A and B are shown apart, each in its own frame.
Chain A
Amino acid sequence: MKILIVEDEAKTGDYLKQGLSEAGFVVDLARDGLDGLHLALTETYDLAVLDVMLPGIDGWKVLQGIRRAGGEFPVLFLTARDGIDDRVHGLESGADDYLVKPFAFAELLARVRTLLRRGTKAREADVLRAADLEVDPLRRRVTRAGRRIDLTAREFALLELLLRRQGEVLPRSLIASQVWDMNFDSDTNVVEVAVRRLRAKIDDDFTPRLIRTVRGMGYALEAPE
């Protein structure tokens, strides 16, 4: 998967490149709009991360250029402003998602993966597995080491989310919006509690422990190698 980053702020650009490279993507970094557009039109990318405020030509113009040339890959905008106007403008000009600076890297990564996954068909019917944990989304059955585990609806949704995105660190905000459909601007420890309860049911009595807390970033479900 190849990602184009257009970001003029030196540190942000470098860390984004490093972070996304380490997450397994091939990353090109352009420092201004003209370079970015040039790269976008000459190379092939799966996704672009565009800063709105850029020297030369701004992010909107880069996006216009990409779309005019027939570039179909998803574009995620970064902006320092959180005005509704910007959001509307971004979505109208064909951006796929939108993050307001400062953002958490985990959040960016999760959104990038969501955008990349869009379009590829999820294999809904399959049974999801991690180590000896098995989840059947259709019949809503969970077993670990062959033992049946009863989960509440929300716990099931949470586990399914973690399993479908195995190995990814999911930030609390993403979990809240996917499982409860809640905008996570309220301050509550609900996600922590939910994860702890889920753990008590699927992890506490078993080894290996599958749900991992990544401090400062979120939670990930991973079967150890």
Chain B
Amino acid sequence: MSGRPPPAALRALNAMRGRVSITSRLTVLFALVSTVVLLALGTLIGGTVDRHFVELDVEALAGKLEQARRILERVKTEDGLPTASRRLDEALAGQRGLAVAVAAPDGRPLFATAGAEFPESLLSRATMAGDARPSRWRAGDGTPLRGISARVQSGIDGAPPMVVGVAMDISHHEHYMMNFRATLWTCMAFAALLSGFLGWLAARRGLAPLKAMKRKAENITARRLNARLAQDAVPVELADLAATLNDMLARLEESFRRLSDFSSDLAHEFRTPISNLMTQTQVTLSKPRQPDEYREVLASNVEEYERLSNMIADMLFIAKADEGRIVPTRERLDLARLVGDLVEFHRLAADEKGVVIESGGEGAIRGDPLMIRRAVGNLLSNAIRHAPPGGRVSVTIRHAAEGGTAIDVANTGEAIPEEHLPRLFDRFYRVDASRSGDGSRSGLGLAIVKSIAEAHGGNVAVTSDEGGTCFSLWVEPAA
């Protein structure tokens, strides 16, 4: 059953159900529930009143039966029967709508008042004790009757008991019940409608905070992402939703801010070199020159192009990392070796500057060898660049207190003012506004370190004081 796709009609219904407003749902639900409750209540009340009438009827009928019994008990011989009939007639005369029938045990009718038509089933199930269970039937003219029956021992010795049936016209009861039921169900129907309407009102009122939230949300645009939904002013049930939406807005705002910063950085970073290139080339072309001069300009252009090209490549890398599209491989990396190779590579540059470079510690991580190498390489060249001549750069591999492995790249030198520290990893961030970038080829070196660390589920941090500056690249423990 479950494997079969639901029929088209059911699918359409399901689809529709998804679209119906909460107010309509609640209204229908209220109306349904109150209708069911009122129906049950109506049935109960109707049944109780009806039963009450039956009890009254049976009580009256039992009295008549008792009278008949007494009269019949006094009959001592067969010949007394006509007398008994007369007496019965007298006893029950004037009682409108009352019918009595007496039959011999063999079913032969002995006595019957006018209009006494008893169903065979009622008479045949008569017992000595008297049958309390009343029967209800209709006479030939349509009159509703209710009657009981009993076997009665007459005074005639040895004769088997006779069957006595007593019935009464209950048309007035029926009439009353009909009216009563009509009134009852009309009221119930009204009540159901009313509760449906009240349900609708309640749902509307109850959902008003949602509407208010919607109005608020409608006002949020890319330009006004700083707007937030009021979390305290909405009911508890909605506070969670509001908080979630607010979180989403905060993330969106952050992404938007970064995107817009990125675009303006991009424009700014490209504008200067390109305008330089243009000016320089135009000046060169403005008059005939020696081949050497042309060569010089072209060479300097190439250097600039190379820088721009590197910048584009770096920016693409960071943009991809931001989108989570950089997926590092997870190879086991011997950090001591990796750092050793890098230190050896950079040693020349350090020597040149009179900076001592040293490394220590060991550890292993799982990561992408090219990326980790690039990250540590960037930190190293950054440290060498910022260490003063005669300074010292040290690379230390250590087990981090929080688990995992950290690579510290420290250099001696001036402290970086504290307000710059958290922003050092932003792309194109400048500690000194007059200097371009972080001094790396694209101004993106540290931003790339951060992207690589995060792609590996790690992070990068920096501390700085009079003793120097230390960058820590932390990567998750090797599994």
Give the interface of A toward B (CB within 8 A).
Answer: 82, 100, 102, 104, 154, 176, 180-183, 185-190, 193-194, 197, 215-217
0 or 1 for each of B231-270: is its CB under 8 Å from A? (1 = yes): 0000000000000000000000000000000000000000
0 or 1 for each of B301-327: is its CB under 8 Å from A? (1 = yes): 111011001101100100000000000
0 or 1 for each of B342-382: is its CB under 8 Å from A? (1 = yes): 10111011011000000000000000001001100110110
Q: Is the CB of A193 within 8 A of B349?
A: yes
Contact status of A190 and B346, CB under 8 A, knowing A183-B373, A216-B300: yes
In the complex, chain B residues whose CB is within 8 Å of the CB of A182: 341-342, 345, 373, 377
B331 CB, nearest partner CB in chain A, Å: 14
Q: Is the CB of B370 within 8 A of A190?
A: no
Residues of B within 8 A of A (CB-CB), count: 36
Contact of A185 among B299, B374, B380 (CB under 8 A): B374
* Segment 276-314 of B: residues with Cβ below 8 Å from A: 295-296, 298-303, 305-306, 309-310, 312-313
Contact status of A102 and B309, CB under 8 A, knowing A187-B442, A187-B445, A193-B348: yes
- Report the Cα distance A104→B307, complex, angstroms: 11
Q: List 21 A-B contacts (CB under 8 A).
A: A82-B313, A82-B316, A100-B313, A104-B309, A154-B348, A180-B344, A182-B345, A182-B377, A183-B370, A185-B374, A186-B377, A187-B445, A188-B346, A188-B384, A193-B349, A193-B352, A215-B300, A216-B300, A216-B301, A216-B303, A216-B306
In the complex, chain B residues whose CB is within 8 Å of the CB of A185: 313, 374, 377
Contact of B349 among A104, A154, A181, A188 (CB under 8 A): A188
Give the interface of B toward A (CB within 8 A).
Answer: 295-296, 298-303, 305-306, 309-310, 312-313, 316, 341-342, 344-346, 348-349, 351-352, 370, 373-374, 377-378, 380-381, 384, 440-442, 445
Q: Is the CB of B348 within 8 A of A190?
A: yes
- Report the Cα distance A130→B373, complex, angstroms: 36
Q: Is the CB of B377 within 8 A of A188?
A: yes
- Report the Cα distance A137→B299, complex, angstroms: 34
Q: Is the CB of B303 within 8 A of A187?
A: no
Known pairs A104-B306, A190-B346, A216-B301. 19 more at Cβ < 8 A?
Answer: A102-B309, A176-B345, A182-B373, A183-B370, A185-B313, A186-B445, A187-B310, A187-B378, A187-B440, A187-B441, A187-B442, A188-B345, A188-B384, A193-B348, A193-B352, A215-B299, A215-B303, A216-B298, A216-B299
In the complex, chain A residues whose CB is within 8 Å of the CB of B441: 187
Contact status of A181 and B346, CB under 8 A, knowing A104-B306, A187-B441, A188-B381: no
Q: Is the CB of B348 within 8 A of A194?
A: yes
A154 CB, nearest partner CB in chain B, Å: 8
- Report the Cα distance A209→B405, complex, angstroms: 49
A103 CB, nearest partner CB in chain B, Å: 8
Q: Is the CB of B345 within 8 A of A190?
A: yes
